[in-house]
Structure 1
Amino acid sequence: MTYGHFLVLAAVLFAIGAAGVMIRRNALIVMMAIELMLNAANMTILTFARMHGVADARLGMSGHSLAFVVIAVAAAEAAVGLAIVVAVYRTRGHADVDRLGVLKH
């Protein structure tokens, strides 16, 4: 498999995630789509790191370090986002992002 295969897969995953964010109304589905987009970005980061030789042990692990930071941000986003969705669901009785205009103020 070449680097192009990984980049095409990452682009497809990112496009599916972007479509999920734009089309879906349920907040949990939107959060899952964002996670999919972050994973696609991780795949791209690691592919380019491997292409440019950064993933070699002698040259450092900067691509892997950046991917680890993205994973940490994704975990924090999932925890905080899930807490917000649960709080909104308890007060409103739904998790429809189109009906949550109160959060705009």
Structure 2
Amino acid sequence: MMLEHILVLSAYLLSMGIYGLITSRNMIRALMCLELILNAVNLNFITFSDFFDSRQLKGDVFSIFVIGIAAAEAAIGLAIVSSIHRNRKSTRINQSNLLNK
């Protein structure tokens, strides 16, 4: 596959993630859009690592670290959303002002 095709796919994933993150009212959807952004970055890491130096796996290893960080972020984020839903009965971002009680 050509470099341009993968970069267009990555840019599309990034733009979908940013658009969803800006326009989402639900916390779960915002976390999913953040995962889309991280996957677009991982796709770029792997593509450029393979394109410029296919003998070394620097981009692949860095991508694995980003996947691990994204998994931890998803677990902690879902725990926080679950706690907010338990207390507020809503996962909407504009209704979850934690400073007001």
Q: What TM-score, normalized by structure 1, do the two folds share?
A: 0.90
Unaligned stretches of 5+ residues in structure 1: none
| Counterpart code for 2:59 | G
Is 1:3 the equivalent of 2:3?
yes
Deviation for aligned residue 1:49? 0.7
- Counterpart for residue 34 of structure 1: 34
Find the aligned partners of 1:90 and 1:22 in 2 and give their Cα distance.
25
- Counterpart for residue 51 of structure 2: 51
Deviation for aligned residue 1:101? 2.3
Superposed counterparts of 1:1-105, under 5 Å = 1-53=1-53, 55-56=54-55, 60-102=56-98
Find the aligned partners of 2:97 and 2:4 in 1 and give their Cα distance.
42
Moved over 4 A (4+): none
Unaligned stretches of 5+ residues in structure 2: none
Residue identity over aligned pairs, in percent, reads 37
Count of residues in correspondence between the two structures? 99
RMSD value over aligned CA atoms?
Answer: 1.0
